[in-house]
Amino acid sequence: MKLLILVNPRAGNGAGDALGRMLNTHGEVQHISFETLTEQLTAAEGFDCLLVAGGDGTISSVLSSPALPPIPVAPIPLGTANDLAREFGVLRALKGASWNEIPTLIESWSSRPLTIWEVAVDGRSIPLTNYCSLGYEGYVVADFHRWRARNPSTRRMFNRVMYGWFGLLNAAKRAKDLALTCDSLEAETVPCMSLIVSNIRSYLGLGTSNNIGSASDLKLECVATSSILDYLRILLATSSILKPPRLLCSGSCIEVQSIPPGMPLQIDGEPRDVVYGGTIRFTPSKTVQIWAPSLTPS
């Protein structure tokens, strides 16, 4: 298998750089440059598989790029949450394995489809791979990323602790009443703390946002949180102790209306500009291939 290996050298507190050095005898290794990512992906044509080592933000940038050639992408998780890798069973398959075993392990994997979505907001079009949320989580993610920019070398567990801390600090902030339309059905007014639109079931690196989602279908799932207790439900849903918050809808076209000006938005764990236009629309964009073990997502 001819591999092109793109690594984010800063991911995992420098683990990306070390992983690249470990794998340089198994394929062509390059450090990801987001300024020249288009050129790097165009050059990936002719390889059998593209290994991308980094966090969810790095992997999403590759998967959503128009320059990605029609070859499968193997996500190698080095981030804080690693939701996409968990969804496709990659975390489980690599657990306990040494880095130099990765090229051998992935030879038995296979190609599985992933739908990439388009988020239309304020005249912008933003790709969505994992999930998006409006309101409370937008405040949390923005605060966390400002802190991480000042502390880039902290370890994954401490990052998770700080994410939880910012969650507590912003606990009083809410999205309030939003109007939701799913596949042209009449809009429902949703009072909420945060509105979550998910392409995958894995959430926050530890939890489950819903029980029916599939990364491969042409449907997004939408849930609303009303308090911090709903986030406890999300985190404990993987253990079957509690069910995730109530599913509002599942559909191929979701529109959120009546959004208050200045509402914070996060997509795939990255803070985005606040919403000014009052409406967000989600529609399918394209299908890419993930190189992953033949396991049921968890």
Going along the chain from its start, the domains and CATH numbers come out as 3-115 (3.40.50.10330), 117-287 (2.60.200.40)
Mean pLDDT of 278-295: 93
Mean pLDDT (whole number) for 23-33: 89
Cα gap 69→288, rounded to integer Å? 9
Looking at residue 41, what DSSP letter applies?
H
Mean pLDDT across the stretch 148-164? 85
- Top-ranked range on mean pLDDT: pick from 66-75, 147-156, 158-167, 267-276: 66-75
pLDDT band at 157 (very low <50, low <70, confident <90, very high): confident
Q: Which helix (H) or strand (E) element contains residue 71?
A: none
Q: Among 74, 63, 60, 69, which Cα is nearest to 103's?
A: 74
Percent of the chain past pLDDT 70, that is, above it, reads: 99
Provide the percentage of residues in the chain whose pLDDT is more than 90.
65
Q: What value does the mean pLDDT take over residues 167-176? A: 91
Greater confidence (219 vs 160) lies with: 219
Q: Predicted confidence band at 79 (pLDDT cuts at 50, 70, 90)?
A: confident
pLDDT at 9 over 90: no
- Please state, rounded to an integer, the average pLDDT across all residues of the chain: 91
Half-sphere exposure of 239 (CA within 13 A, CB side): 8
The mean per-residue pLDDT over the stretch 260-282 comes to 91
Residue 86 has pLDDT above 90, yes or no: yes
Task: Quick: pLDDT tens for 89-138.
Answer: 999 999 988 888 998 999 999 999 999 999 999 999 999 999 999 999 99
CA angle (127, 272, 134) in 5-degree steps: 90
Is 298 a residue whose pLDDT tops 60?
no
Q: Report pTM.
A: 0.90
Counted residue by residue, the chain has a size of 298
* Mean pLDDT computed over 59-71: 94
pLDDT score recorded for residue 297:
42
The whole-angstrom separation of Cα 6 and Cα 30 is 5
CA distance linking residue 23 with residue 81, whole number of Å: 23
Least confident of 28-37, 68-77, 160-169, 287-296: 287-296
Q: How far apart are CA 164 and CA 187, in angstroms?
A: 33
Lowest mean pLDDT among 13-17, 136-140, 200-204, 294-298: 294-298
Q: Which residue has the higher pLDDT, 223 or 156?
A: 223
pLDDT confidence bin for 70, thresholds 50/70/90: very high
